[in-house]
Amino acid sequence: MNSRIQQHGVANAGMMLVISAPSGTGKSTLIRRLTAEFKAFAFSISCTTRAPRPGEADGREYHFLTREEFERRRESGYFAEWAEVYGNFYGTPRQATVDLLNAGRDIIFDIDVQGARQLKENLGQGCYVFVFPPSREALERRLTGRGTDSPETIARRLAEARKEISDSHWFDYWIVNDDLSQAYEQLRSIYLAEKVRPAYQQAWRDALSRQWGER
Ligand code: ADP
Ligand code: 5GP
């Protein structure tokens, strides 16, 4: 989609696409589809104090840190946002985010509601999408069906979901992930529409103006 811009060697500003949803809603499934279709997306690699799951590699899914190291970085202002989620700390490295945006890369974030709010306040930009499950029952079924969580963890995630849903009012977009294909169509439409906002096309527009001798 950026071929016209790349042809002229003009990098536009990168866009932050921030996606939050109660655990089990299908957020990772939607993000995987989007990054498979739009391969230029950068994924924001968070730091976490949770242990790696089988198949996860340090520096790929997450940067895995001790609690002490996380706290040290947090105190030094290393994170653009951080939150405690299900008993572990998670945070988004600020400099890596800013560097990617300045290089014109679009970044996708999979972060919780508290973190998304902080990101909006601290960086003052981005598109914020909240994904809802179609019902409480469907959410429970998906959490159980995924087979990665104990019944206690599932109960805790369902209780958390209630809070997350009640904190979702400030997001830019709401998607209900009932039919996956439809939810995906909505997500990719949001991305494509946001990308043509003037804020993300300033460099291209300025380069065009210069062809008329404007500065
Ligand atoms: P999250 O990242 O939000 O925790 P996942 O993407 O891991 O959720 O999805 C949770 C489970 O629900 C997975 O087993 C996934 O295949 C399934 N799932 C995702 N979207 C749908 C959907 N629209 N309908 C039915 N099942 C879905
Ligand atoms: P998981 O441990 O299952 O990978 O992620 C658990 C939760 O932490 C998910 O809701 C995910 O969105 C959230 N999360 C992952 N990275 C970050 C982060 O950097 N900041 C915040 N605030 N939440 C995160």
What is the DSSP track for 78-103? -EEEEEEETTEEEEEEHHHHHHHHHT
Question: What fold is seen in the domain 44-104?
Answer: Guanylate Kinase phosphate binding domain (3.30.63)
Taking the CA of 24 as reference, the closest ligand is: 1
Which residues on neighbouring strands pair with residue 46, listed in sequence order?
62
Supply the pLDDT for residue 215. 63
- Residue-level pLDDT, tens digit, the chain, 215 residues: 333 334 355 667 899 999 999 999 999 999 999 999 999 999 999 999 999 988 999 999 999 999 999 999 999 999 999 999 988 999 999 999 999 998 999 999 999 999 999 999 999 999 999 999 999 999 999 999 988 889 998 999 999 999 999 999 999 999 999 999 999 999 999 999 999 999 999 988 999 999 998 66
Domain spanning 1-41+105-203 has what CATH number? 3.40.50.300
CB of 44 within 6 A of ligand 1: the answer is no
Q: What distance separates the 2 farthest-apart alpha carbons in the chain? A: 66
Tell me the domain boundaries of the chain. Answer: 1-41+105-203, 44-104
CB of 138 within 6 A of ligand 1: the answer is no
> What tokens does 175 get?
């998607």
Residue whose token pair is 């040290």: 72
Distances in whole angstroms, Cα of residue 83 to Cα of each of 44, 71, 76, 80, 149:
15, 12, 16, 11, 21
Supply the pLDDT for residue 128. 98
CB of 186 within 6 A of ligand 1: the answer is no
Supply the pLDDT for residue 9. 59
* pTM of the predicted protein model: 0.93
Q: Which atom of ligand 1 is nearest to the CA of 32?
A: 6
Q: Which atom of ligand 2 is nearest to the CA of 118?
A: 22
Q: Which atom of ligand 1 is nearest to the CA of 183?
A: 23
Supply the pLDDT for residue 10. 65
170 exposure class (CB count in 10 Å sphere: 0-12, 13-18, 19+): exposed
